[in-house]
Structure 1
Amino acid sequence: MNRSSRKTLAWLICAVFTATLVLSACSKDNANNTSGSPSASPASATAAPSESVEPSAPASEDATVEHEPVKLKIVSWAGDDYVPLYQKFHEKYPWITIENVPVDGKPILEVVAALEAAGTPADLTWVDQDLFAFEQNGIVEDLTPYIDKDPTMQSVTIKQGLLDLYKVNGKRVAIPFVDVPMWILVNKDLLNKHGVDMPSNDWTYDDLRDIAKKLTDPTAGEYGMTTMPEWQMRLLSTKAIADGHASYLQYMNEDLSQSLMNTPGVMDDFRWLKSFVTTDGSILSYADAKTQGDVVSNFLNGKTGLAIGGSWNIPDLWKNANFDWDILPFPKGASGQPGYSIYGPMTLLAGSKHKDEAFLYISFQFSKEIQKWKMEQGNNAAIIDPELDAYTDQIPLWKGKNTGAVKISRDNGIPEMGYMIPAYGEYQWNGLGNKIIFEDGDVSDMISATEQWNKRTLEIRSSLKL
């Protein structure tokens, strides 16, 4: 290993060690804090300067031109779901193949460091902690010059603001490669049984509560809403935005610098959802659900009327649900009707030996062909195009279902922004929130916990070279 490689490995290991210490310190509190996106954590390792490399012109797409074979390594936790995407990329660029490098439960930075040490550096990676750690340690490229020269990304209309979500120090350090939406799942058979009409797409949070109460019949073991943490994790966090009590998901303010979880409006939102458990009885607590064998903790059992689900749930519903089901968008509040989206950031690693080819894979995500493929999996399109608007109604996944809700989730989805929040892994919005709603926690518990975390995130933010 040459001197440069040893230096690179040294700062990567430093970054991994720092991040691992923080993650370990938070693991006890976050054991049940599965928000659907990776937890973020601060990193304070000293950054190593990265060279600014001007990208060359995009590689030719002409398969008749002779190219040297290239194998790209992508570090991710993807299983077989993305194999068809790798194959489609290889069909378009026959000289480039994709090797998925699984993390196997390890921190991304640790896997990247190991590949560097072996002399086989990765080219691209998904993200599993805050992006400040990636930028401050100089392991990612600024994607702006690549975007500016890429013919695919320059030829489409990308959702406003999408490419600027993950900017650190003016650099685009990552780009969302997927937009995973969420909806309210509806058991239409249970609606019919209780004489309740399917709500319209502009339904409200008051409508949701009213319907949940009407569907609740304890003598039949039926309840309005599935006992699941997502009501607090997804719905309550979105309601806070819909009613003007927060600017971003997880009760964050406009510049993502402070939590508003201890403010009167958000605390009232918690009391509102808690009353579904303690007053209405339309959601069972964890303990009460357990006494019934956790039947009402699984929407597929058909014993609950409403649940929260994402694109990953839809194939399972088609295959295993023995009742008529559909979807609704998240309800309207006093200030709007936001939805909940999970974005997957992808970065181009500074240590890549094939940066231009690696960026081709990023830009490939924004081609109309691949946008259609992602829509077929239930995910949202990242580009604005009339053909894609019409395509929603043609997708077999949504045959006979409420495609209007799909379109609303595309237009109104608010992304999780934990990747841009220092000390996010220490923020107990979810663990404490679930304890309050489903266990014996009290809304007042949020006051001191939020004050402490707000101080902590500002301390970490001030230590960063921003």
Structure 2
Amino acid sequence: MKRVKVSLALALTLAMAAGCTNEAAPSTKPGGTDEKNVTQAQSSPDNELFIYTVWPAYYVKEDIFQKQIGDYIKKKFPNITIKHVHWDNPGRQHKDLIAAGTIPDIIIDDTRRNVQGQLINNDLQYDISDLIKKYNFDTSKLNPAHMAQVKNLTPDGKIYGLPFYNNDFALFYNKDIFDKFGVDYPKDGMTYDEIYELAKKLTRVEGDITYKGFSQNPGHYLNYNQLSLSALSKTEDKGDMSDAGWKKLVDNMRRFYEIPANQFDTVETFASKPTIAMGVATVSDHLVKFYEENKNLNFDIASVPSLSDAPNTRYQPNVYSMYITKQSKKKDLAFQVMAALLSEEHQIDLAKEGVIGPLETDAVKAAFGKNLPQMQGKHVESIFYGKNAMPPAARQQDLVWYDVPVQGVFQPLIFNESKDSVTAIRMVQEQATKAIDTLKAAKTEINKAATTTK
């Protein structure tokens, strides 16, 4: 079974290429939201549950959706039918389903990036707190950082969803390069300072081959940072990267790329061009991607390096969650299905396929990667080493959410323009504030136009 890398560009490509692999949403031209259609009830059979997936991107492949979700639902709820539609552009975006009056019962989406921009802005959100109580669902059994990522979207304490899948990070390392240069393998619990010393030893130029000691995506590193920092002000509509922790984070990463011959290069070539000794990458998709690109790659994994003042701390959750829409007429059924997907039985099944879920019992941990040939004999314990950093606290109500492109600190400002860390951080903060002002102005114009047409 081929699983594809979870990235926005690839999500778009795959969705368009595989448009007929899922049951298609009703044909509609992309356009603005129609208030009448937003509240229109779905005309689906009583035993049909409509699940709309946006992330993970590989659910564009129907066989993967069925293996990871659909088959288990059929097993536990044999009397219901699942209708599955995956996001596509154009034609299968949230606004298209809303305009057609075919609103899903459950949406699975990226929590940090899309929930405020898509779920809340499209008035699809529904507080499931009463359902949690009604069905005695114990959220305390779930990873607390995953739950916090769901709860911290709003300051009013409402719970709009439950975490389903965390595309967490690990340190992949090429054992052949370590062996070649006689360097000890990295261990769980190492700090960035320790990894930096290894990177200096492993960065070598031999003939026309450059061995790079370390590589990591700076955008992921900053977005899911281990200091739990947000690039947005919690009380105002503006960017805010004034916390001293931002400079600490930037300086920590830039030193790796200032090692002679270790200039930035994408970690994506870790398997296809195996000259990178160590690389931090997301687990679930890269376990498959790296194996497909190079089945002979002699690699293992260790826990992600931590900061010296945040020891044994993984990144903030890169979590995709399940949401029940307020328009759904099958909220009880939808919740029971979500609860089943979070059962230990199903979380074990997912763990065997290399999926990191929010339930981290001993049985789930022990099952991780059992169905993946590339994980046999690997140090899978590192996947669950330490704890996830908590996501930033909720911002003040009604503030505009903007996904600050923090990767811009490094590319282009540091890598291309050699800006100092303070200047690069300030420039990205200013760019974010300008972007938020533009979003607010556009929203004001839309509201004016709506008032005029009434």
Normalised by the length of structure 2, the TM-score is 0.72
Q: Could you say which residue in structure 1 is the equivalent of 2:273?
A: 301
Task: Find the aligned partners of 1:184 and 1:384 in 2 and give their Cα distance.
Answer: 20
State how 1:91-102 maps to structure 2 within 5 Å: 91-102=75-86
Shift of 1:348: 0.8
Task: Find the aligned partners of 1:156 and 1:268 in 2 and give their Cα distance.
Answer: 33
Q: Could you say which residue in structure 1 is the equivalent of 2:313?
A: 338
Task: Find the aligned partners of 1:205 and 1:255 in 2 and give their Cα distance.
Answer: 32
Shift of 1:197: 0.6
Flag structure 1 segments of 5+ consecutive residues without an equivalent: 1-32, 39-44, 52-67, 287-293
RMSD after superposition: 4.1
- Could you report, residue by residue, the CA deviation over 1:58-117 in whole angstroms, capped at 9, with x for unpaired residues? xxxxxxxxxx8612121224223221120111111011121211221247421331341x
Task: Find the aligned partners of 1:385 and 1:155 in 2 and give their Cα distance.
Answer: 13
State how 1:58-457 maps to structure 2 within 5 Å: 70-77=47-54, 78-80=59-61, 81-84=64-67, 85-106=69-90, 108-116=93-101, 120-127=102-109, 129-131=114-116, 134-135=119-120, 137-150=122-135, 153-154=137-138, 157-160=141-144, 162-167=146-151, 168=154, 169-220=156-207, 221-225=209-213, 230-235=216-221, 241=226, 246-248=227-229, 261-277=241-257, 279-285=258-264, 297-310=269-282, 311-319=284-292, 320-336=294-310, 337-340=312-315, 341-392=317-368, 396=372, 398-408=375-385, 411-412=387-388, 422-425=400-403, 427-443=404-420, 444-451=423-430, 453=432
Give identity over the alignment, percent.
19
Shift of 1:176: 1.6
Seen in structure 2, the aligned counterparts of structure 1 residues 257 and 194 have a Cα distance that, compared at 3 Å, is: farther
Ranges of 4+ aligned residues in structure 1 off by more than 6 Å: 35-38, 45-48, 252-258, 416-421, 458-461
Task: Find the aligned partners of 1:275 and 1:93 in 2 and give their Cα distance.
Answer: 53
Task: Find the aligned partners of 1:345 and 1:330 in 2 and give their Cα distance.
Answer: 23
**Residue correspondences, number:** 390
- Could you report, residue by residue, the CA deviation over 1:402-448 in whole angstroms, capped at 9, with x for unpaired residues? 12211216x335569999984323x2212343223432251313214
Question: 1:203 is paired with a residue of what secondary structure?
Answer: coil
Q: Output the amino acid matched with 2:254.
A: K
Does the aligned pair in 1 maintain the 2:231–2:429 contact within 8 Å? no
Seen in structure 2, the aligned counterparts of structure 1 residues 164 and 212 have a Cα distance that, compared at 3 Å, is: closer
Task: Find the aligned partners of 1:394 and 1:450 in 2 and give their Cα distance.
Answer: 44
Task: Find the aligned partners of 1:401 and 1:254 in 2 and give their Cα distance.
Answer: 42
Question: 2:381 is paired with a residue of what secondary structure?
Answer: helix
Task: Find the aligned partners of 1:155 and 1:204 in 2 and give their Cα distance.
Answer: 31
Seen in structure 2, the aligned counterparts of structure 1 residues 459 and 147 have a Cα distance that, compared at 3 Å, is: farther
Q: Which moved more, 1:129-138 or 1:302-311?
A: 129-138
Q: Which moved more, 1:324-333 or 1:120-129?
A: 120-129
Does the aligned pair in 2 maintain the 1:232–1:433 contact within 8 Å? yes
Q: Output the amino acid matched with 1:430.
A: Q
Shift of 1:350: 1.9
Q: Output the amino acid matched with 1:269.
A: L
Task: Find the aligned partners of 1:412 and 1:371 in 2 and give their Cα distance.
Answer: 18
Q: Which moved more, 1:339-348 or 1:396-405?
A: 396-405
Task: Find the aligned partners of 1:89 and 1:307 in 2 and give their Cα distance.
Answer: 36
Seen in structure 2, the aligned counterparts of structure 1 residues 332 and 93 have a Cα distance that, compared at 3 Å, is: same
More relative contact order in 1 or in 2 (CA 8 Å, sep 6+)?
Answer: 1
Q: Could you say which residue in structure 2 is the equivalent of 1:16?
A: none
Q: Output the amino acid matched with 2:103.
A: P
